[in-house]
């Protein structure tokens, strides 16, 4: 029987996930359907409970429900979802329980390390933003052992809270060969940034309103990569600023979108799709 999956959000009409997962299913020969599900703003839990009661196997969760999905699935969640306080993937497990995970950070790390050939070990990383998007990628970035991981936010207390949250979870998390002391992790506001970075990631929602985070000049190291987790036609204000500031490479979040989908697909189906042709397909549309 065809297994049923969906992405749930509000709005959901423009989601690329149905196309991405249809391509993954075709590539790997998996018998599944994947649809877009609009949940009323006050009806997320009812929508997903109905979906699973009707035989659904797994869901992706998008704006604005990732935090509600985290609350719904807790305590049956991964450590990275606990640090993110956000769940983007729900899976009906073998015992009939719903498991929550967050594949956004792995998606970003894979896009950086595999697609963009940008190793993270020993690198100086600036992560801008301290909302759900930033929390979602923090632990997978840290596990790659950069030398510095600075979280900058307009409201610096939120950046401090995010770092405290990750420190709270690290003692319970077991990760192979991970050395917490290898990374100098700090919170900052934008004005106090006075070092250069190899990688600057925009995890704020500023690009959504065509705004630029108040990044000072001179933060891009000569070989640096500027990465905006948003994607769209043309450069975001952040990528345009990075270009003017001499960042060597610019990337938007399209690769991350496809890679987080591939991680969800792998979690559900145990099969790893080839992401490169799907990224190319989306670029061409
Ligand atoms: P998301 O889930 O997309 O991360 P969020 O939780 O509302 O959304 O967080 C938005 C993030 O973008 C916050 O870090 C916010 O900074 P503040 O905490 O200081 O509000 C950041 N942000 C939004 N617009 C911004 C802008 N124009 N410049 C800088 N940061 C911005």
CA of 205 to the centre of ligand 1 (A): 5
Q: At what angle do helices 17-28 and 254-269 cross, to 10 degrees?
A: 50
* Beta sheet of 58-61, edge-to-edge order: 32-38, 3-9, 58-61, 89-92, 98-101
Q: How far is the CA of 202 from the centre of ligand 1 (A)?
A: 10
Atom of ligand 1 nearest to the CA of 204: 12
Return d(Cα 188, Cα 273) in angstroms, integer.
38
Give the span between the Cα atoms of 135 and 161, in whole angstroms.
10
Ligand 1 atom 21 nearest Cα: 204
The alpha carbon torsion through 25, 28, 29, 34 (nearest 10 deg) reads: -10
Q: Within the chain, which residue ranges are assigned CATH 3.40.50.10860? A: 3-102+256-283
Q: What is the pLDDT of residue 177?
A: 78
Hunting for tokens 């594949």 — which residue is that?
103
Position 59 scores a pLDDT of 98
Determine the distance separating the centroid of ligand 1 and the alpha carbon of 182, expressed in angstroms: 28
What number of other Cβ atoms are within 10 A of residue 26's Cβ?
10
Give the CA count within 13 Å in the CB-facing half-sphere of 278. Answer: 27
Six-digit token string for 59: 């869901």
What is the C-alpha separation between 42 and 92, in angstroms, rounded? 23
241, two tokens: 């600023």
CATH annotation of 3-102+256-283: 3.40.50.10860
Pick the CATH number of 105-252 from 1.10.10.10, 3.40.640.10, 3.40.50.720, 3.30.750.80: 3.40.50.720
d(CA 247, CA 258): 24
Which residue CA neighbors atom 28 of ligand 1 most closely?
A: 213
* Residue 244: partners with Cβ closer than 8 Å, 6 or more residues away: none
Catalytic residues: 66
Pocket probe mutation, ligand 1, options 129, 163, 231, max atoms within 8 Å of Cβ: 129
Q: Within the chain, which residue ranges are assigned CATH 3.40.50.720?
A: 105-252
CA atoms of 31 and 101, how far apart (whole Å): 23
Using CA atoms, how far residue 185 sits from 17, 28, 161, 191, in Å, is 33, 40, 12, 18
Q: Which residue's alpha carbon is at the smallest distance from atom 18 of ligand 1?
A: 155
Strand partners, 89: 60, 101
Distance, CA of 77 to CA of 98 (rounded, Å):
9
Spans of the chain below 70 pLDDT? 172-174
Instruction: Give the DSSP per-residue string, 226-280.
Output: EEES---SS--HHHHHHHHTT-SEEE-THHHHHHHHHHHHHHHHS-----HHHHH
How far apart are the C-alpha atoms of 10 and 96, rounded to whole Å? 27
Ligand 1-lining residues (CB < 6 angstroms)? 129-134, 153-155, 158, 204-206, 211, 213
Determine the residue of 67, 84, 131 to mutate for testing ligand 1's pocket, defined as the one with the most ligand atoms within 8 A of the Cβ atom. Answer: 131
Digit-coded pLDDT (tens) for 200-229: 999 999 988 999 999 999 999 999 999 999
Of the candidates 97, 96, 150, 102, the one whose C-alpha atom is nearest the C-alpha of residue 123 is: 150
Question: Which residue shows structure tokens 């990465």?
Answer: 227
């Amino acid at each position: 029987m065809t297994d049923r999956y969906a992405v749930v959000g509000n709005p959901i009409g423009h989601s690329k996930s149905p196309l991405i997962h249809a391509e993954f299913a075709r590539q790997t020969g998996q018998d599944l359907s994947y649809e877009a599900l609009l949940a009323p703003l006050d009806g997320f839990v009812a929508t997903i409970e109905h979906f699973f009661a009707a035989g659904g196997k797994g869901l992706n969760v998008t704006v604005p429900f990732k935090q509600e999905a985290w609350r719904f699935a807790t305590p049956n969640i991964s450590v990275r979802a606990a640090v993110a306080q956000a769940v983007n993937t729900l899976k009906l497990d073998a015992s009939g329980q719903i498991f929550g995970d967050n594949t956004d950070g792995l998606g970003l790390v894979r896009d950086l390390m595999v697609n963009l050939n940008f190793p993270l070990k020993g690198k100086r990383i600036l992560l801008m933003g301290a909302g759900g998007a930033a929390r979602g990628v923090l632990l997978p970035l840290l596990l790659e052992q950069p030398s510095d991981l600075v979280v900058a936010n307009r409201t610096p207390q939120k950046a401090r809270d995010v770092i405290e949250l990750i420190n709270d979870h690290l003692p319970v998390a077991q990760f192979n060969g991970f050395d917490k002391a290898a990374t100098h992790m700090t919170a900052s506001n934008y004005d106090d940034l006075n070092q250069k970075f190899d990688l600057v990631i925009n995890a704020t929602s500023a690009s959504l309103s065509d705004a630029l985070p108040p990044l000072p000049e001179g933060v891009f190291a000569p070989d640096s990569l500027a990465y905006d987790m948003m994607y769209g036609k043309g450069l975001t204000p952040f990528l345009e600023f990075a270009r003017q500031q001499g960042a060597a490479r610019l990337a938007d979040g399209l690769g991350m979108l496809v890679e987080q989908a591939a991680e969800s697909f792998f979690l559900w189906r145990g099969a790893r799709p080839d992401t490169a042709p799907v990224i190319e397909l989306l670029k061409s549309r």
